[in-house]
């Protein structure tokens, strides 16, 4: 179960990192949600 949770976090992190160059505001919003 923890592995699935970590995998999901890594996937979200990768998506946020990929969109960081295109939409900084959206990335900040995702980071705020994770916190």
Listed by start position, the domains of the chain span: 2-34
pLDDT at 5 over 80: yes
Query: What is residue 9's DSSP assignment?
Result: H
Please tell me the least confidently modeled range out of 6-10, 11-15, 19-23: 19-23
Q: From CA 11, how far away is CA 5, in angstroms rounded? A: 10
Helix (H) or strand (E) holding 27: helix 24-34
Cα dihedral value 4, 25, 18, 21, nearest 10: -170
Nearest to 13 by CA among 1, 35, 2: 35
Overall pTM surpassing 0.75 (yes/no)? no
């Amino acid at each position: 179960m923890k592995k699935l949770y970590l995998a999901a976090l890594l996937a979200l992190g990768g998506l946020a990192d990929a969109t960081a160059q295109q939409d900084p505001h959206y990335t900040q919003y995702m980071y705020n949600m994770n916190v």
